Structure 1
Amino acid sequence: MFPDENGIDGWLRYAPLSSELASQFKRYGNIIALRNDESSPVRTAAKEIQHGLKRILNQEANIGHDLITGSQVEGPATIVIGTVNSFSHAGGDVSHIAQLKEDGFWLHGDDYDNVQILGQNERGALYGAFAFLMLLAQGKQCPSAHVSNPSAPIRWVNQWDNLDGSIERGYAGPSIFFRDMVVQDDLTRVSQYARLMASVGLNGIIVNNVNSHHDLLSPRNLAGLGRIANAMRPWGVRIGVALFFDTPKILGGLSTSDPLDPGVIAFWDKITAQLYQHVPDLIGYLIKANSEGQPGPLTYGRTLADGANMFADALKRHGAGVVVYRAFVYNHHLDESNWKNDRANAAVEYFKDMDSLFEDNVLVQIKYGPIDFQVREPTSPLFAHLRKTPTIIEFQVAQEYLGQQSHVCYLPPLWKTILDFDLRVDGKPSLVRDIVSGERFGWNQSGYAAVVNVGSDSTWLGSHLAMSNLYAYGRYTWDPTSNEVDVIQDWTRLTFSSHSTVVDTVTSISMESWPTYENYTGNLGIQTLCEITKTCHYGPRPDAADGNGWGQWTRADAHAIGMDRTVATGTGYAGQYPVEVAEKFEKVKTTPDDLLLWFHHVPYTHKLKSGKTVIQHFYDAHYEGAANAQTFAPRWKAIQGLIDDSRFQHVLFRLVYQAGHAIVWRDSINEFYKAKCSIPDEQGRVGNYPWRIEAESMDLTGYAVVPITPFEAASGGKAIITTSNDKPGTAKYTVPFESGVYNIAVNYYDHLGGTSQYKLFVGGQLIGEWAGDLSKVLLHDFSDLRDGHSATRITFDTVHVNKGDVIELIGTPDGTELAPIDYVSFLPPGLVD
């Protein structure tokens, strides 16, 4: 048995190697750190290696600071950590060390097992130390003459933490940075987070939500930001802040926030000076403006460049920080009746003519796709329009539209569709990864940002498996050519175990997870078909995409579906790409099927390259995706006993939940589009559920039948709720199926407002009881309605049932949650209804 773990160390557990494997390593007796300041990453690296050696090899090593030159034939091996310059100044030979970029490192093990870890700077030395330790933790020897350089200088995280302690898109508990409108007193978790970031080469963080609050800049919080910077600095992580554009009016009492107003300029100049007093190594500002109702320079009749340059000038006067201006600028009150309107066009329309107008310390941060972290989008064409203004690509580790960490969804395969895409700027190779690295256009400042929603839960992200995305994000910012299988295998060995069954199981589930999720949510480029008009962005709600001004439209009607984004007849979006790419997307026959409905409005009967019609592909893909999701939990059970039980059960619970919610997704999407187009499923599955007993058809006492809105969120469009909020209800039905062994699934709604209690009897025997408490367990955004967000399922396996037995469900309501039930399924083993 393995001792239970809570996930706090992430992939930095440093689990002991087996005695056989540990015996292959020489004893490391001395660690020479060529710097000893408290805040120095070199000192941090030395202490980390000391800790890692103790954990992995059970070796005690002393830390010193005087370099011993020459090879050591006998006795303990020595590990030297420092910069190339400090090593040279101490008498070391650096003539054989290859050229290092900023933050790069040299890792070298000699014939006597002595190790050199030398960085281009102190951060690089720390990154090299982590590289050494993570190899050691996997039982791998230190390489000889290994040079590692990051792909881009900017490798940042964007926290969406609010001052009140909540986190926008936070699915792992409250903030580790803020509480009650101020910076927290205890920043222990902040230091632990910086350690995780540094281990995968992340060097900067915006600590607060892009939807910022003016109180961030109060005197108390300015001092608090200084404490956050102090907590993260030893790990080589520098901080920056997101600013609210109208702060001069609200906090400063000015009549305007016009970026050209002298008083406004003076206000930001003063704030910037104060920030640098507390955070002398401030990385800069992140600005969200004129987006989703936020004020910005356009509010005052100025250009976006005017707004960015105001902040840039203030930073230049006081330090070396940069302004990162988000390209997420769009009108969310678009008129859907105008066929030419298209939110996807917005970024290029706003920024394409501004390339030469920004100050040299301004970067534009661009979401990987033109909408908003959808399950599949084309690469944003804005990357092809900015040649002089450096860019940052924005990814998301927070799974906002991608299962919110309650569904496993390993994201590197999605990221690679973007990073490997060739935009063919000026007819030349222009891979996105080469643009954001700065290589394609010769930039010195560019790179990566990701929205990350770590919270106070010990798992950091609310799910142990979700942490693979944070680890992988760091790996991909360092090397965007990384192999996604290698990355998940390394993470698994570090996080769980090197046992082949564990590695193979986690790898296979993870690698299948994104295509599986895409299949049962939204495919063919139609986007994630979830609720977008409310904050949930979680469960199925296909009708929410249309009939509003948000611009995430599908344009689905009774005959056809998809956005016409062609130049010839549509919104013109395809023409925003360079010619070679635009020509491919302009035509149906040359557009890949996985983006067909993104670029083209086609009949449901349109034949795909597979030979299937669009609507049959929808039906089949949703069934295939939901069916594969059913396999995740059984496959996970193969590793029981090979890892600790706490984390095993944590993941198992979520995989079982995902399997049930995948069925909700499948039925909701398929029923909706079948009703929309009136074209039946060729295989007769949609709307035909022979193993189901609808709750509304049962014998009810203390229960009443209610319609569900939207209709597709319930099997048959109806469910039952108790007639009282303090008395139980009973639903009974005589089993019509042949006697045998069944898996019994109960679909019900677990929404905010209470914790209902349920009991299931078959033939008078209690089969199981449970509570409607998922909102307390899963932590993702929950609904207070009976809908696709709250619809869920519980399954009781291998129940012996006799034909004619009475099934009895007793639901006890709590608060406004009236023990709602949708249906019961009797499933022969191996069957997915």
Structure 2
Amino acid sequence: MRGAHWGLLALLARIVAAENGLDGWLRYAPLPDSLLAQASPLPAVIVALNTTSSATGSSPVAIAAKELQVGIKGMLGRQLNISTESPIFRINSTQSSIIVGTIAAYSAKYGSLNASSLIKDGFWLSVKGSRVTILGQNERGALYGAFDYLSRIAQGDFSDVDHVSNPSAPIRWANEWNNLDGSIERGYAGPSIFFSNGLIVKNLTRVSQYARLLASIGINGIIVNNVNANASLLTDENIQGLGRLADTFRPYGVQVGISLNFASPQLLGGLATFDPLDASVIAWWADKTKRLYQRVPDLAGYLVKANSEGQPGPLTYNRTLADGANLFARAVQPYGGIVMFRAFVYNHHADWNDWKFDRANAAVEFFKDLDGLFLDNVVVQIKYGPIDFQVREPASPLFANIPKTNVAIELQVSQEYLGHQDHLVYIAPLWKTILDFDMRVESKPSLVRDIVSGQYFNRKLGGYAGVVNVGTNTTWLGSHLAMSNLYAYGKLAWDPTQDSQTLLQEWIRLTLGHDQAVLQTITKISMESWPAYENYTGNLGIQTLTDILYTHFGPNPASQDNNGWGQWTRADGKTIGMDRTVGNGTGFTGQYPSELAAKYEEIETTPEELLLWFHHVNYTTRLRSTGKTVIQHFYDAHYAGAATAQTFVSEWESLRGQIDSERFEHMLFRLKFQAGHSIVWRDAVNGFYYNLSGIPDELGRVGNHPYRIEAESMKLNGYAPVAVIPSETASNFTGIVITSTNGRGEAATTLDVPLGRYDIAFNYFDVIGGRAHYGAFLNDKPLLEWIGDLEDKLGHAFSTKLDGHSATRITFEGVEITRGDVLKIIGLADGIELAPLDYVSVLPVGIVD
């Protein structure tokens, strides 16, 4: 009977049911029969220790027991009862059970264990046949151990194990940039799960579900509001709401913290000042902190962004950043709280004409001389690179410059500069380049991961802050595959020595099952995604060549320069790149320890992937690795990256029927969008530097598009040409729009191609503010119909203009065409969306435009 039952489960497992992504990697789907056969014998009961708190149903141990029950039922089809009482038995007994709890509770009931190797949040997992013991140094650790055991089952690992796992660092936090009105800065998955209309939401179901996901990857803290903080978060009503949030997160071992507006005493408290050394300000913060801890006694602490990008801070009163941080540190110190103080402080009104100015210098310039002046419960939160979450940056030299100060590394799961979750970019390999980087402090091995953990400089605090920005979308991040980044972030914060591909494959098995084709295909495209994105956006260390003045999504190389934001490339007609040398440039190289400073000072020893980060060179400078000129490398890399993005579509389509239809179609749509948008990126960046330098592509591709029909060259009725800005984001610098609001336009052309099958790509602009309708006809027969409604289907920050953010394409494949056929596009404008078109490509099958 048991075999028949498991056979039924296996049959159900093979039925690919629709999933919306809400469970993430905690699906607990039935295992295939090949793995179920390895599951015997199973434990008979779950014994939950720490019974006093477990009885309330609100402790991490109680959650662990319930999670074990649900997980085993879902994956193995076995209903296990949860007991808080069990017969006394010796540790070497072979009783069939899962025991979960703390070391202290276990020792009190069954006799002491040697747990000296466990640190805070760590756990011990022992699996010996049908006897499983999961013990945490604290209750949170027990919950982590339960998730680890369930993950092993979900991946088909039933082997015996005797395993101690400790976190690499005490701080493993998520930063959510949520605003009180429900919007999310750099969020691409719908509105906030925390806030709406200035208050904490009433229904916290999604918050509980998110807490579960965070706990399963070892995240122990969360900042729930934007670093650009609203002082009204500290009203009495919102403090009560924060208490409800904390009550929801607490059973999962996740402590709530908040971002502060430095000027709150003035903005909210009515004081005349927010000077951190003023007695009234100090008293105001002490009282507000007391009120917070009365409602949230385990408040993790505060996150502060000060004197950056227009935010108020201590420099307003000629006080130091340490004075500002210590104001809050003293306030939370009696309660055991932590202050995370962001090192993201810089002048965004810099003088572009000053050759020696460098935004990258700011963190060290502001913080190095303050080393040793921060209180012990202050942690300086440092972005992984010196600028701002670019596609590639060197490790921030600040990690090596403040040895007497606690530090944490700030990583970004939310893809602000990396395609807004509408481009597949698996970011963990990028993070690993930083975490594994050797800073060579005093010419000794000093890996960034060991510095941020506190280990290298012997600091008591340290760790990880990940900007996540989940939203109400059931996929959490707006894209199913983007969740691999959240999973990898938590796992790397726990153990940064782990391999990024191994973590990816864990996530695939947990999220999408055990099919080998699924595993291999998604591994392939995911591991190719960051290099491809770097290639078609910005390579050789030039940064992500996005529009830094607008949404940070589409291409706009010109926006990097001639403004005060400091993300400069110094590109002109002959040269490109920032000279950050000591000898002739901004002096940035000198901020590194001596070995690295010497390495980066010289072009010959600078890694080529960072060449233009450190050096200002001629476009005709030849690379050591290939002999290509810098400009030719740009051309080739952008073509190569876009070509790789095209393969993601066909690779994914090969999995049809092996992934449930809901998730399959969701990702297929996004991968097709990425394939088209990568061509926009390729053409815009290549076109910009071709026009700037005047140096042609040796292969004749840039500016030469034999398969394109420019929209402005077609026969137009109701349409008129319009210049696109930036010009390189449109083919031939021009698009067409309907001449009247809510009007109708036609664009027609006679095709001059041999008889055959073709793919027809329509490049158009999908702006926010309307949903124009389009219809394509071949000899007046309907070919394709679509709506400019990407704002309903994608999550990126949209544009109201014709530019690199709104440029996109849709393709109709396998069209039979005869020379002389007439292709006509009819557009119906809607609101400010005037059915804009750029060009049509008539492509022989298999040819990429």
Give the TM-score of the pair, scaled to structure 2: 0.97
What does 1:58-457 align with in structure 2 at a 5 Å threshold?
58-70=77-89, 77-92=96-111, 94-95=113-114, 99-110=117-128, 112-317=129-334, 319-457=335-473
User: Which amino acid in 2 is paired with 1:102?
Assistant: K
Which residue, out of 547, 551, 555, partners 2:570?
555
Q: Distance in 1 between matches of 2:758 and 2:71?
A: 50
Task: Report how far residue 102 of structure 1 moved.
Answer: 1.2
Does the Cα contact within 8 Å between 1:161 and 1:209 map onto a contact in 2? yes
2:71 equivalent in structure 1: 52
Does the Cα contact within 8 Å between 2:762 and 2:840 map onto a contact in 1? yes
Q: Distance in 2 between matches of 1:767 and 1:586?
A: 58
SS of the equivalent of 1:291 reads coil
Does the Cα contact within 8 Å between 1:419 and 1:433 map onto a contact in 2? yes
Aligned in 2, Cα 1:370/1:613: closer, same or farther, shift over 3 Å?
Answer: same
Task: Report how far residue 71 of structure 1 moved.
Answer: 7.3
SS of the equivalent of 2:273 reads coil
Q: Distance in 2 between matches of 1:11 and 1:774?
A: 27
SS of the equivalent of 1:253 reads coil
Q: Distance in 1 between matches of 2:117 and 2:436?
A: 26
Which residue, out of 18, 22, 25, partners 1:4?
18
Aligned in 2, Cα 1:684/1:28: closer, same or farther, shift over 3 Å?
Answer: same
User: Which amino acid in 2 is paired with 1:475?
Assistant: K
Which residue, out of 766, 776, 779, partners 1:763?
779
1:728 equivalent in structure 2: 744
2:590 equivalent in structure 1: 575
User: Which amino acid in 1 is paired with 2:125?
Assistant: L
SS of the equivalent of 1:748 reads strand
Which residue, out of 612, 632, 638, partners 1:622?
638
User: Which amino acid in 1 is paired with 2:23?
Assistant: D
SS of the equivalent of 1:255 reads coil
User: Which amino acid in 1 is paired with 2:22?
Assistant: I
Task: Report how far residue 710 of structure 1 moved.
Answer: 1.1
Does the Cα contact within 8 Å between 1:693 and 1:825 map onto a contact in 2? yes
2:8 equivalent in structure 1: none
Cα RMSD (Å) = 1.2
Aligned in 2, Cα 1:475/1:427: closer, same or farther, shift over 3 Å?
Answer: same
SS of the equivalent of 1:441 reads coil
2:623 equivalent in structure 1: 608
Cα-to-partner distance string for 1:312-340 (whole Å, 9 max, x where unaligned): 111123x0001110000000000010100
2:31 equivalent in structure 1: 17
1:485 equivalent in structure 2: 501
Q: Distance in 1 between matches of 2:623 and 2:676?
A: 29
Q: Distance in 1 between matches of 2:162 and 2:709?
A: 67
Does the Cα contact within 8 Å between 2:635 and 2:697 map onto a contact in 1? yes
Q: Distance in 2 between matches of 1:264 and 1:620?
A: 58
Q: Distance in 2 between matches of 1:144 and 1:190?
A: 33
Cα-to-partner distance string for 1:685-713 (whole Å, 9 max, x where unaligned): 00000000000110011110111111101
Does the Cα contact within 8 Å between 2:43 and 2:132 map onto a contact in 1? no
Q: Distance in 2 between matches of 1:762 and 1:455?
A: 42
SS of the equivalent of 2:82 reads strand
Q: Distance in 1 between matches of 2:93 and 2:135?
A: 23
Task: Report how far residue 613 of structure 1 moved.
Answer: 0.3
Task: Report how far residue 762 of structure 1 moved.
Answer: 1.5
Task: Report how far residue 142 of structure 1 moved.
Answer: 5.0
Q: Does 1:513 align with 2:529?
A: yes
Cα-to-partner distance string for 1:25-65 (whole Å, 9 max, x where unaligned): 22332100102323211111000000101101111111111
Cα-to-partner distance string for 1:237-257 (whole Å, 9 max, x where unaligned): 001100000000011000000
Q: Distance in 1 between matches of 2:182 and 2:795?
A: 15
1:545 equivalent in structure 2: 560
Does the Cα contact within 8 Å between 1:365 and 1:393 map onto a contact in 2? yes
1:532 equivalent in structure 2: 548
Cα-to-partner distance string for 1:574-602 (whole Å, 9 max, x where unaligned): 00000000000000000011000000000
User: Which amino acid in 1 is paired with 2:693?
Assistant: C
Which residue, out of 738, 752, 759, partners 2:768?
752
Q: Distance in 1 between matches of 2:439 and 2:155?
A: 38
Cα-to-partner distance string for 1:654-695 (whole Å, 9 max, x where unaligned): 000000000000000000000000000000000000000000
Consecutive unaligned residues in structure 2, runs of 5 or more: 1-14
User: Which amino acid in 1 is paired with 2:283?
Assistant: A
Cα-to-partner distance string for 1:72-95 (whole Å, 9 max, x where unaligned): 999983000011111111114524
Aligned in 2, Cα 1:142/1:192: closer, same or farther, shift over 3 Å?
Answer: farther
Does the Cα contact within 8 Å between 1:747 and 1:794 map onto a contact in 2? yes
Q: Does 1:797 align with 2:797?
A: no
SS of the equivalent of 1:482 reads coil
SS of the equivalent of 1:32 reads strand
Task: Report how far residue 24 of structure 1 moved.
Answer: 2.2
Task: Report how far residue 725 of structure 1 moved.
Answer: 1.6
User: Which amino acid in 1 is paired with 2:157?
Assistant: K
Does the Cα contact within 8 Å between 1:132 and 1:142 map onto a contact in 2? no
Q: Distance in 2 between matches of 1:324 and 1:248?
A: 19
Does the Cα contact within 8 Å between 1:69 and 1:92 map onto a contact in 2? no
Task: Report how far residue 406 of structure 1 moved.
Answer: 0.2
Does the Cα contact within 8 Å between 2:227 and 2:303 map onto a contact in 1? yes
The size of the alignment, in residue pairs, is 829
Aligned in 2, Cα 1:210/1:72: closer, same or farther, shift over 3 Å?
Answer: closer
SS of the equivalent of 1:353 reads helix
Does the Cα contact within 8 Å between 2:94 and 2:131 map onto a contact in 1? no
Which residue, out of 827, 831, 834, partners 1:811?
827
Does the Cα contact within 8 Å between 1:67 and 1:90 map onto a contact in 2? no
2:7 equivalent in structure 1: none
Does the Cα contact within 8 Å between 1:727 and 1:812 map onto a contact in 2? yes
Q: Distance in 1 between matches of 2:226 and 2:240?
A: 18
SS of the equivalent of 2:110 reads coil
Does the Cα contact within 8 Å between 2:765 and 2:838 map onto a contact in 1? yes
SS of the equivalent of 2:532 reads helix
User: Which amino acid in 2 is paired with 1:78?
Assistant: S
Does the Cα contact within 8 Å between 1:98 and 1:147 map onto a contact in 2? no
Q: Distance in 2 between matches of 1:33 and 1:726?
A: 65
What does 1:634-653 align with in structure 2 at a 5 Å threshold?
634-653=650-669
User: Which amino acid in 2 is paired with 1:89?
Assistant: A
Does the Cα contact within 8 Å between 1:77 and 1:114 map onto a contact in 2? yes
SS of the equivalent of 2:352 reads coil
Task: Report how far residue 20 of structure 1 moved.
Answer: 4.0
Which residue, out of 712, 725, 736, partners 1:696?
712
SS of the equivalent of 2:425 reads coil
Cα-to-partner distance string for 1:505-553 (whole Å, 9 max, x where unaligned): 111010000000000000000000011112x000000000001000000
Does the Cα contact within 8 Å between 1:259 and 1:306 map onto a contact in 2? yes
Does the Cα contact within 8 Å between 1:520 and 1:662 map onto a contact in 2? yes
